[in-house]
Each structure stands twice: as structure tokens, then as C-alpha cells.
Structure 1
């Protein structure tokens, strides 16, 4: 996969008659493809790879979108307050409809959708049998569902486009689709994908979906919508068939965040693929490393110091938990060989995020243009989805506790030694359902720290008032409003182009 994306983008761009930069500027939502482009299966695959290329771009997983998700959580704060005002607004819950981060990633998600729609349309026209074309259609549907799943969770009611658009005037008249209807369409796409995707992709890559990938996302979608029986059924199916799909918990937690090992991660269920130092415009431009890097000279992991956790995120995390060591840079050895603690960092004197800069693989010095496969779904998360859904259905059962303990046991395993501390890391029994649910959500917070998941948990569980205003808030935000801040604003520029996108989300 790593050699395909850039070539594919160039092919798609030339066939569409636009440059990569022009693709970013396309408005309103949606892109056009020329009639007659699709002749073979490879043409359809090129469109699908083009969609993956847009996901692996600076406006989405390369910085803007993923940083916005981190800022909205209670795990990541602004370090360098001299950064762009649009980032501070997202972090501080005071953005408006003109926010630059939202305006950057909204249209690119719809470019992903457009590429998927074009691929599906093309697959239906190349004249092959159902058994040949349906796997292609299934992959296009998965990509479309993936894009809409991120969009609907952040914006609620959104324009839903699932057809090839040949008349650009149509795009200026599209209205929003109700959130519940968007979820229903996402589920339908994922169900088709589960039926028709292969058990394994070539070379067992995890940057293209399989049947189990679709099932994992179905479990997540059902969990988000509090359909706990369906969430449990899908998650349990993945767990029961883990050998077929080659899923395990990676024994060394650190290895999950070594970019050079990304292609061989059996824990990855679906990952977004970046290629080391092969950028083409915004495509494949991974800036997360610099965003989390330590700001200052003489620092080997130098960066902008923008996405920096509040100190309590670090100090409240048990030091015996290996995941804390992997997740943070709490000290650094300078280029002159001097080890300094975070209290002596040149600027933001807090532990910084290490996951996305410690081992960036083939990249430039500050981690930009990395070789990361960013996991959007890991097997550990499926265990926690199954635990949460089972607990909601049946209370604190041993089955749910066992799923959590699988994840927690690894958290005690440091390289070269297996520890038994802390003893309370292994769960035993619970007296109430809520007590176990709270433990599962806390486990998700730590296991998936800085992996763009925490905001979605806060939103789906309506935890905002508790985590931002409560006495134990890691990152206090007294102005958080549950009436406004669970949704982002639809970009003002999009509403100006198409007034049918009104009304704006509440509070904006």
C-alpha cells in the first residue's frame, strides 16, 4: 500500500483534470469524475486508493482533523499559546462558524466521499460479474461509511451524498440529512462490506478493510448509538474469529507506535497509511510529530509544542503502567547528551506526547513526513467495546472483566520483564454496573490515549460537564456548554455557498 497512494493521486488528479491543490480548493462539497474513466477493476481500485490518499493528508489524519479531536478531549491542551487562533478556539470551546480548522477538514472528508462514490459507480459499469465487482463496491462503501462516521459524530445532521454526481449545480441544492438517517446509511454500507470484503487483503495489510474490519466498525457504530446488543454481537464475532483474521494484542505496547513496524501490526484492524518522505502537496503530509514535539533548540524531538497534555493527565496516571512510559516524553536527552526532565524543558514544562514522534520511521528530523500507520481501530478497542456492551446488557459479568484484564495485563508488561504491580491493575469483582462502566471508560482513556478517541467517548456518554467542570477535571473548561459543544459548527463558507445547509448547529 505504501507505494500506491502517491502514484494513484497523480493518476486521479490528471484524469480529473485538476491538481492536488485544486482538489483542496474544490467547493461546494463533492468532486466530479469524467464520464468513461472506469474501464477495468484497476481503475476502480485507483479511485479507492485516491480516497485513502485524501484521508492520509494534512487536513485529515496528518494534522487538522486529528488535532481538533485531541483538543476537544480532556487529554490534550494547547502548549504553545502563540499558535494559530483557530486551534486555541477549538481547544477552549469558543470557536465560531469561521473556524479555520473546521473549514480545512470538512471539504476534504467530502472529497473522500466523492472518490468512494465514483469508485462504486465505476464498479457497477465495468461489466464484470457480481463476485468480481461486489468486493470493490464493498471497499468503496466501507470508505464512505468511514468518512461519514467521523463527520456525523462531529456535526450531527449533514449533507449525505452516496451517488456519483455529474451535474455540479446539484451540489448547491443539497440539504442536510438527519443524524439518525446518516447512521442508518453507515450501518447499511458496513453490513454490505462485511458480506463482500475478503477475509484478508493482499499481504495482510491493515490499511485496507476486511470482513472483520467492517464488523469492528459496526460494533463501534452500534455502541455509539447505544444499541448494546448489536455492538456486543459484532465485537464478539470479531473476538471469536480473531485467528481467522490474524488479530492479537501486540505483546510490547511500544511496538504499536514504531512507524517502521506499522505494516506488520497484527493488532491493527484498520489504519491510515502515511509514507515516509513521499509528500505531494497536502497528500501524505504528516505533521502530527511536529505538533506534539518539544519546542526548543538542542532537542532531538523538536517540534511546535502545540498539542501538549495538561500536567494532571500525566501525574494522575500510575507510573507502573507501561502505557504511561510509551505515551509521554517526560524527559529528553539533548543533542549534546544532557538528560533533562520535563520541569526543565525550554518552553512548555510538561510531559509531551511521545506516541507520534518517538519512532516516526522514515521522516525528517522533527517527525514530519513520517512513515506511521495511524490506527483508527485496534483489537484492544474491540475487547473494550465487547466489555462495555456486555456490561450494559448483563451488568458486571466475569466475561466483561476478562476482556478488560486482557488489555490491563499487557499494560503491566515492560520490555524484558513481566510485573505484578500495580496489583489493582487487574480487576476482580464489581458491585454495580455503573462502577464497571466507569472502569471501562477509564481504561479506554488510558489505552487509547492520544489516538483521537477520547472526544468521541465524552460525546457519546455525555461526559462533558463531568470531565470539564467536575472536581477531578484534568483540563478544566468552565465555559463548556452541553447545549453547544457536543457538535462543531458547519463551516460558514459552506452555508454561504449552499444556504440549504441551514440551520447552523446550535450556539454558532
Structure 2
């Protein structure tokens, strides 16, 4: 990991605090009115509850970087699939991902790498600092903050390993992944660190998520905080995703059952303080209320703290119109009928359909979804189908689909055949989670070829799982400082 402030130990702590003060779950948050302190030394950074809370907010702020969950990582991951057609061939707006042509010098690769490790290091600084600065805040509050740090660290490592490491299912995680950094870094002394295996990284991710589940609060005081800060069901939901990536069907089911106790619709949660459920109208989730109980974890935007221009996924998709929906992709599949409410999240212009889940104009205040309840239901459905419980799998799939297209019914031929049912679940993921960063990871976890796509202006060939460009190359910024990579 490149240490950009490697000679300034004091500066790192100060920047963590000051950027943390500016991260907020809604633009009216009183934290925006705090006058920032301009100099805070390492020995003082953990001396007040307010400064410690600033560090916690700083972890989320780093996770919100433009190249991470500020939105662009969703773009990079979706463009590996076939459901969007690029128009501009602009390397600054994800074209190299669409074209599978990244190099170690690509801006996207280096920015993603740096942002993910910044979030990880921020989490490590908080975890270590709270361990040696006890008594400033209550033991319970420190435990919860560490849980939040571990959840963000787990998600950052998951993002790194699925993009820069070979798929876990290729060799049960035996191949090399990325460096596993679990210590706070404030200088260049530990830049040289060999890569851990993919399996080792997944082990750490799941340990962090288990620890987070045990430490996090059940809920917060407002719906917005329940959406923008990690709580118990956030950790459980993310575990269903991680286990699905490993084809660990039994563990997906074990975790999903904590949230989804029923075997028939409506599949709302009952055990946790936050009663997760599908929002009856999916367009509400992406337009008028970003804090429904369907949105388990989202990244907030405010008028004082949002991504702008080419840093914004909304600008790329809906303002500058750099990608349109492939008519021969999921848009043209019969499982996605014209009566489906999810069609309202697209718009037609000059004969092409464009994507508008993120439809707010500048300053682009759409919250960015990290995980929604509908994904948990589909993760559960796939695991149920893979383990032979076709009735449960079909019920879960139907609940997600009929939320947006109430009259649609999956045929008995589909629901009674495990292969056809799984195919229908995979299609449903492409419809329901379109533009949320799932198509590429779904192809990779199933070791499927990255499909060819294009139109009469731009085309890109298929990429088999054996090809070197099946995953992202390592970042030059890491290669330049880590002799053991």
C-alpha cells in the first residue's frame, strides 16, 4: 500500500478526524456545524468522545471515496457484463472495465486500490487506537465503533479480492490475492508485504463480519442512521453475499435464516430491531425515500458532501448518457416484461433506453446502495435451489419479482427444475440489481466467460476465465513500493 503521508504521523490522524467530521448521514446532521480543529496530535486524537466519533465518521468517509462506494465501483463491476453498451470510449468513466483492457497504470485500478486500502487503514487506526485509549468512551460504545470499523474493513477487502484476486471457486482460494494489512500504517516501514491467498482473505473477511455482528448495535435512533451506519443485520446480510461468492450454500442459508424466518411471502424480518422488508414500490427506494427498511446499508450524499462530474455514477449514466442498456441483454429478456415497475428506472431517448436508478441532477444526491434486502432474498433463493429446496427458492424468487410485476408467474417447468430455477434466479439478479455492481462478480463467482458485447461503433470480445484480463491487474502504486507483491 502506498503511504501518501508517510512522513507525517500527526497529519494522518488530523486528516482522519477532519474528514470524519464532514461525513454525514443526512445534510441536516448537526455534525456539519462542528467547527473543525486544525491541529490534533496523535497523543490527543483519542482524548475526547467527539474526536473518536470523528475518526469513526472518517472510516465511512474513506469508504465513500468516488472510486469505491461513492459509486464508481458499482460501475466498474457492472461493465464487465453485457447489459450496458458504452458510447464514449472514455477511460475516465469506466470504458476500460467495459472493454476489459485495464493495465496496472489505469487510473481506475490505482484509484480503487488506494481508496480501498485507505478505508482499511482508517479502520485499523481506530481499532488499535481504541485498544490503547480506554476509558474515554464507554466500553459498549468502543465495542460498537470497533464493530463498524471491522464491517467496513471486511467490505473493502471483499471488494479488493473479488476484483484483484482469482475467483474463490477457481481453486478453493489457493491462488494469491492481495496484501492483508491488519495493522495501522502511519509510515513506509511495512510497505513490503506479500500477498495472502484468496482463502486467507475470505477467512479474515468472515471473521471481521462475525466480530461485527457480535459488537454492533441492533439499531440506531433514526431510519436514516439505520441505513447509513452498520448494525447487526448489516453484518448478517453481507455474510450472505460473501458465502454466496464461495458457493457455501449451507452458510448462506444459516445467515439468511437469521433475517428471513418465514418460508412464504412476505419474508419480512422479525428477530432484529430493524424490521427489514421489501418496499412495495421499488422506485421509492431510488427516488423519494432512501431510508426504507429495504435499504440495509447505503452511502449517503448531501449538498455539502457528494460526488460530482465524472466522479459521480449518476452523471455517467443519466446526465452524460455514456452507456445505454443493451437491447439483447437482460433488457430484452422475457422475464423482464414491459409492465414491470422496474422499467420505470429506465428512460428512452433517441430510440435507446438509458439507466436512471440514480436520477438526481447535479449535485447528485442519490444514496448509493451497498446492500438491499432484495439481494438477501435472492442470495437465499439461490442457496435454497442449490441444496434442493426448490419450493422455498421459488417462493423467494417470486416475492422479489412480483413486488414489481404482480401478475407474473414462473411456470411449473421452471420451478420444478433446479437448473432452470437457478437460471431464473440469476436473471432476476440482473433485473433487480441492475446497475448496483453485481453482474461482473456474479460472472466471476460462477467462472463464466465475460461476454462479448457492443454495437456498430464499439465492440469488445469475450474473455474466458483463463485469460489474464479476467480480473483487474495490480496497481502500479502498489508495485512501486511493495517489493514482496
User: What TM-score, normalized to structure 1?
Assistant: 0.78
How many angstroms does 1:91 deviate by? 1.1
On the 8 A contact 1:89/1:95 being kept in 2, the answer is yes
How many angstroms does 1:371 deviate by? 2.0
2:481 counterpart of 1:481:
no
**CA, structure 1 residues 10+449, in 2 after alignment: closer, same or farther (shift >3 Å)?**
farther
Residue matched to 1:163: 183
Residue matched to 2:386: 392
**CA, structure 1 residues 430+189, in 2 after alignment: closer, same or farther (shift >3 Å)?**
same
**Residue-pair matches, total:** 430
Distance 1:409 1:450 in 2: 20
Superposed, 1:94-173 pairs within 5 Å as: 94-128=101-135, 130-156=139-165, 157-166=177-186, 168-173=187-192
Give the secondary-structure state (helix, strand or coil) at the position aligned to 1:500: coil
Distance 1:181 1:11 in 2: 39
Distance 1:401 1:254 in 2: 24
2:20 counterpart of 1:2:
no
On the 8 A contact 1:194/1:210 being kept in 2, the answer is yes
On the 8 A contact 2:180/2:195 being kept in 1, the answer is yes
Alignment gaps of 5+ in structure 2: 1-24, 166-176, 262-267
**CA, structure 1 residues 15+200, in 2 after alignment: closer, same or farther (shift >3 Å)?**
farther
On the 8 A contact 2:452/2:460 being kept in 1, the answer is yes
Distance 2:92 2:358 in 1: 23
Superposed, 1:331-342 pairs within 5 Å as: 331=349, 342=350
Distance 2:43 2:278 in 1: 46
Alpha-carbon displacement from aligned partner over 1:371-396 (angstroms, at most 9, x marks no partner)? 22211111111111111111212x25
2:414 counterpart of 1:437:
no
Distance 2:244 2:33 in 1: 35
Give the secondary-structure state (helix, strand or coil) at the position aligned to 1:451: coil
2:73 counterpart of 1:89:
no
Residue matched to 2:57: 49
Distance 2:115 2:229 in 1: 19
Give the secondary-structure state (helix, strand or coil) at the position aligned to 2:283: helix
On the 8 A contact 1:323/1:447 being kept in 2, the answer is no
2:258 counterpart of 1:242:
no
How many angstroms does 1:117 deviate by? 1.2
**CA, structure 1 residues 187+423, in 2 after alignment: closer, same or farther (shift >3 Å)?**
closer
On the 8 A contact 1:292/1:306 being kept in 2, the answer is yes
On the 8 A contact 1:65/1:101 being kept in 2, the answer is no
Give the secondary-structure state (helix, strand or coil) at the position aligned to 1:266: coil
How many angstroms does 1:214 deviate by? 0.5
Give the secondary-structure state (helix, strand or coil) at the position aligned to 1:356: coil
**CA, structure 1 residues 450+39, in 2 after alignment: closer, same or farther (shift >3 Å)?**
same
Give the secondary-structure state (helix, strand or coil) at the position aligned to 2:436: coil
**CA, structure 1 residues 162+37, in 2 after alignment: closer, same or farther (shift >3 Å)?**
same
Residue matched to 2:327: 311
How many angstroms does 1:429 deviate by? 5.5
Alpha-carbon displacement from aligned partner over 1:314-336 (angstroms, at most 9, x marks no partner)? 333533342442231124xxxxx
Superposed, 1:4-83 pairs within 5 Å as: 7=32, 11=36, 14-15=38-39, 34-81=42-89, 83=90
**CA, structure 1 residues 15+182, in 2 after alignment: closer, same or farther (shift >3 Å)?**
farther
Alignment gaps of 5+ in structure 1: 17-32, 294-302, 332-341, 344-349, 361-366, 414-419, 470-474, 502-508
**CA, structure 1 residues 89+131, in 2 after alignment: closer, same or farther (shift >3 Å)?**
closer
Residue matched to 1:411: 404
How many angstroms does 1:407 deviate by? 0.6
With 318-327 and 37-46 compared, the bigger mean Cα shift is at 318-327
Give the secondary-structure state (helix, strand or coil) at the position aligned to 2:415: coil
